[in-house]
Structure 1
């Protein structure tokens, strides 16, 4: 499927959905829409991606033909920015589906719903959860597979990236491994999953447990994408729901080098990562005994020498192996399995 990705004024740093699809998705991306960086290519910003030649254009009218428009931005609160409306409208009028991971559902937008019906296209709100979710039964640990969950010191610390890098490394090592997507970007990449942050709180653990049950018979290892942070002033609830629903055997703690404040909530400091690791382990242990597999550190803002020192220091602070999943892979963590 050929897709265009909307990432206006956020690419690449704050367009994690766009970057995730470009890095891990199997879609054929024909263009990225970003008014600020139009005229460049993906490779000018992210030279390590295979999709480096993908052009960045100003809007839908400048993009080659595509089958679907993906909204590649995940803003705080998941709202819809009205400046995106002309591009969404233009995509529908060109006969393309629109895939969104926002809390704002496109199907509830009267203009978009009417246009989609008129042009025979689909609006897919991937954050819309199934209607038949229930509370957890507390049985994930009884599944016949090893469960690895990524947790973080904050949002946007690389939990999805780490999960998918672990998945790829596990498969390369010959392990029978599967992915459990719990957020909009993971769902767009995988084609299935449940956005846990959109479920009723009572059903968050149950939704996580359901996805594990659906995949456990087929896989020996399941890598679960984490969300939020247990110390986040707004998003801790989704973290707790996933931890208790997944009942993981192992945790991997994700952190960004140099970040000491909660993004978007800068009055809240990030505690020492080792303290967060202990907090997550304690939270998990009361439901099912859990171990720290290691740490994943995003060192994208550091020079190579600085990065290696930071990774080593991070591992020492955690008392566990640490890696930068993009800079040097996750083999050290897979070896622990």
Structure 2
């Protein structure tokens, strides 16, 4: 499928969904929309992902294009009204629209009417299933080993690490599957539940459902983590995923140089050794698990500095560590297996 990815004023650093689609999704990206960078290319900023032109708006996207993907996930998941003309024109061009926002496009009167007129689909990826239930505490019963990525903050590489772990496992002939719990993972895998839209009583149950659905069909499940237990706004979903997945091992994700919670800079990130202990202690009532490895996002560092940062991170968390994008995920896979 040929898609256009909307990432206005946020590409690439604050458009993790767009970057995830470019790196992992089975889509041909025709163009990325960012009105701040028209005339540039994805490769100018992210040479390690699928390349595409960056254009100012949907009118500049060449044919063929089958769908538009909302490639940004702003705090709170709201719809930016400045995107409306591009979404409207995409629908009028016959494009489906895939959105991971909390704002449901299918409940927008204008978009719903246009989609009906033009015979296209509005896919609100955050809309939860109607038949969710509380957890039964049975995720540990699956045959597969279950690994969960956790973080010191949001946007520290949990989805990326999960995808890289699964890819590394498959390269070794291990039957591995990604368990998507966020909008980017659901876009990439075309299944899953975006758990931060699920009522709080049912989040652990939703994760348990995903683990049990795939757990007897694979040897390794890697559950995509969300938020952080130290985050002042998003810790609840993190705890629910941890308890619902009942993981055998954790991978702690961090961004090199980040010292405070993004968007909540008055809240410093605790020392990573303390964060490790917090996760292990929180999991203990339902799962005897440890932080088996660490994933460090070193994208902002030069090669020599990245190597040193990984060594220091591994020492701090007392576990093997690497940057899975820069150096590969084999070391992480060895640790969690």
Q: Residue deviations 1:110-151, cap 9 Å, x none?
A: 000010001110000000000110000000011111000000
Q: What's the offset of the Cα at 1:109?
A: 0.4
TM-score normalised per structure 1: 0.99
Pick aligned residue for 1:55 from 53, 69, 72: 53
What secondary structure is seen at the aligned counterpart in 2 of 1:31? strand
Distance in 2, Cα, partners of 1:173 & 1:293: 19
Q: Residue deviations 1:196-232, cap 9 Å, x none?
A: 1000000000000001111112101000000000010
RMSD of aligned Cα (Å): 0.6
Q: 2:330 matched to which residue of 1?
A: 331
What secondary structure is seen at the aligned counterpart in 1 of 2:150? strand
What secondary structure is seen at the aligned counterpart in 1 of 2:169? helix
Q: Residue deviations 1:250-283, cap 9 Å, x none?
A: 0000000110000000110000111111100111
Q: 1:15 matched to which residue of 2?
A: 15
Distance in 2, Cα, partners of 1:38 & 1:45: 13
Distance in 1, Cα, partners of 2:169 & 2:235: 29
Q: 2:315 matched to which residue of 1?
A: 316
What secondary structure is seen at the aligned counterpart in 1 of 2:3? strand
Map residues 1-337 of structure 1 onto 2, 5 A cutoff: 1-49=1-49, 51-52=50-51, 54-65=52-63, 66-336=65-335, 337=337
Distance in 2, Cα, partners of 1:192 & 1:64: 29
Distance in 1, Cα, partners of 2:96 & 2:282: 41
For the 8 Å contact 2:33–2:58, the answer to whether it is kept is: yes
Q: Residue deviations 1:86-119, cap 9 Å, x none?
A: 0000000000000000000001100000100011
Distance in 2, Cα, partners of 1:106 & 1:324: 36
For the 8 Å contact 2:23–2:48, the answer to whether it is kept is: no
Q: What's the offset of the Cα at 1:14?
A: 0.2
Distance in 2, Cα, partners of 1:273 & 1:159: 15
Where has structure 1 moved over 3 Å in runs of 4 or more? Answer: none
Unaligned runs of at least 5 residues, structure 2: none
What secondary structure is seen at the aligned counterpart in 2 of 1:162? helix
Distance in 1, Cα, partners of 2:319 & 2:259: 21
Distance in 2, Cα, partners of 1:308 & 1:332: 14
What secondary structure is seen at the aligned counterpart in 2 of 1:248? coil
Unaligned runs of at least 5 residues, structure 1: none
Q: Which sits farther off after the overlay, 327-336 or 192-201?
A: 327-336
Distance in 1, Cα, partners of 2:45 & 2:300: 13
TM-score normalised per structure 2: 0.99
Q: What's the offset of the Cα at 1:165?
A: 0.4
Distance in 1, Cα, partners of 2:287 & 2:320: 22
Q: What's the offset of the Cα at 1:333?
A: 1.4
